[in-house]
Chain A
Amino acid sequence: MPTPAPRSSEESDRRGDGPAPGVFIEAHALTRHFDHDRVQALRGVSFTVREGEFVAVIGPSGSGKTTLLQILGALDAPTSGGIAFRGQSLQAVPDLSRFRARMIGFIFQSFHLLPTLTALENVQVPMFEMPWPSSERRRRAAELLATVGLGGRLDHLPATLSGGERQRVAVARSLANEPQLLLADEPTGNLDSANAQRIMELLGDIHRRRGMSLIVVTHNPAVAACAGRTLQMLDGRIVLDTANPAGAP
């Protein structure tokens, strides 16, 4: 076990053997250092996320939001500290790709669709990791695109879609393998306010209907206001953990 980093003041004290009922993610004293410890992106972050919770992570650039999101998404490992999903430590997961493919959906700021693939094909890209035949992949992708309101643009290439439409394709792609956790990194960062609002309504809707947990990293207070809880980060620490009764639970 790595040496625990200094605890932050907001850290939850619950550290039993098994997960408390309803706890989905439990992060404990996460640190992440880069460049031979010269950069300390996370300096001891602990928090829990309940099943089906919608959490916004806010904070200035360089406060460690994206690093935290990547660790939550099993794309990066903490320098010290640990993270558990439903009581199972991520370090003990033998196949992180499989975990990512089935458990997590990613949404990026700049969409990152494959430019030569149509909307329908882009949504199918993650499905190669699932045991579904080609026809099933197609059917599911079409259904997801209909869910995000792009049922009529299945065969459009990303270049022929507006920014908002591209992000909706990316949302559909993130749902491809029916994940239980959706991670969005500045999902509205490249969109105008009208489209940003539409994307947040869509994410809120998906969160409500599918009951999946949703963690959104954002600069945008309007986006954060949609969430039921806000974690504010500064210099690699969570400095404020507030509930927002007006947002989604």
Chain B
Amino acid sequence: MSFLTLVFKNLLRRPTRSLLTMTGVAVGIAAVVALSSIAWGFQRSWEQAYAARGTDLIVTRITSRNPLPTPFDESIAGDLARLPHVRQVSGLLSDMVSIEDAPTVLVFGWEQNGFLWGHLKLVAGRWPAGDAEKVVVIGTVAADILRKSVGDSIHIENDDFTVCGTFDSAALVENGAIVMTLRQMQRVMEYPGRVNFLNLRLEPGTTEPQVEELRRMIKSRLPGCNAFTGGEVAQNNTAIQTAKAMSWATSLIALVVGAVGVMNTMLMSVFERTHEIGVLLAIGWRRRRIVRMIVYESMAVSLVGGVQGILLGFVAVKILQITPWIRGKIEGEVSLPLFGLALAIALVLGVLGGLYPAHRGSRLHPSEALRCE
């Protein structure tokens, strides 16, 4: 018999209690997995969007911390286009808009002849014919959520638009979005001549140091503006940061509850086994071995709970993704490192939950423990 066999057999002695404790851990770990994968997925969806658009640098006001920065004058696009290595500049105005009875939808206004349109694949209908046309194209997921197809009318803010086409994008955030021309967006949002992002496409072969130099130039020549890469914008996005912070806070609470559950179970088990611990000490076990037995039991409960939690979290992500609030905006990122992290957390939980009960168990006085029947 190995020492671990003994540990597992001890846990099987109270199967219901072990199972309930595992469930406590599983819920905590599931929260970590589900919420983290949503938060990371949120960030990745945006990174995908910037990558798909072929945007090398994004220029926006001062900070990019607001997911939808305050619009600024589009005329600086001309100044940017004259900077070295800049091949194309394309303005963009975006906002979250509540449309009809659907939850908020992301609406983009893109420059009519800008390069942003290039990466979208038309699925049905056609692209907007010109600036003056009151039409929109909608992503396939948005079409599904809003239940709209080509030819339908769609009410945005105070105006009605016709859906002239549906498209497919490599980025989920765009698939869940509505796109119109920049002029129409500026008109309906009442921001004439303004954009909140300028997308820069650089000349092929522009080196890393040259990009850095360009960023410094933009900062110094265009006061109040700053240039970021797509990844930075996604990372600095306050919405993403908030989502991450919320997910960690919620996970932490769930984990503390899980850890307290483990500790409670192990303490109960130590109290119940006081006499048995006395017997083990009497037959020569060292206190260290008592500590090891209890901590291993606690770790085993947590690890099994952790595996259950990962599965539960995976299912939770799949369910969350099809809820109307998240669908079309976030694709949960369920990755191996996340699973590894979840298991590591479960292990730490087990050690933390087991240490105090183990300490209590190992401090028992053998003769007193033996008297306790």
Contact = CB atoms under 8 A, between A and B. Distances in A.
B289 A128 contact: yes
A76 B276 CA distance: 16
Interface stretch (A5-13, A97-105, A144-152): A97-105
| 8 closest A-B pairs by CB | A101-B284, A76-B367, A116-B9, A97-B286, A75-B366, A126-B283, A100-B284, A112-B279
Contact of A124 (B1, B276, B279, B370): B1
A73 interface: yes
Given A97-B287, A128-B285, A138-B1, A70 B280 contact: no
Given A75-B366, A121-B5, A129 B284 contact: yes
A151 B9 CA distance: 23
A137 B5 CA distance: 14
Contact of A102 (B1, B284, B367): B284
Given A75-B366, A97-B284, A100-B284, A129 B279 contact: no
A128 B3 contact: yes
Contacts, number: 79
A101 B10 CA distance: 22
Contacts of B9: 114, 116-117, 121
29 contacts: A70-B367, A73-B282, A75-B366, A75-B367, A76-B367, A95-B286, A97-B285, A97-B287, A98-B284, A98-B286, A101-B284, A104-B284, A106-B282, A106-B283, A112-B279, A114-B6, A114-B276, A116-B12, A117-B1, A117-B9, A121-B1, A121-B9, A124-B1, A125-B283, A126-B285, A128-B3, A129-B284, A134-B1, A174-B283
A214 interface: no
Interface string A44-76: 000000000000000000000001001001011
A134 B2 contact: yes
Interface residues of B, number: 25
B275 interface: yes
A137 B1 contact: yes
Interface of B: 1-3, 5-6, 9-10, 12-13, 275-276, 279-287, 289, 365-367, 370
A102 B9 CA distance: 26
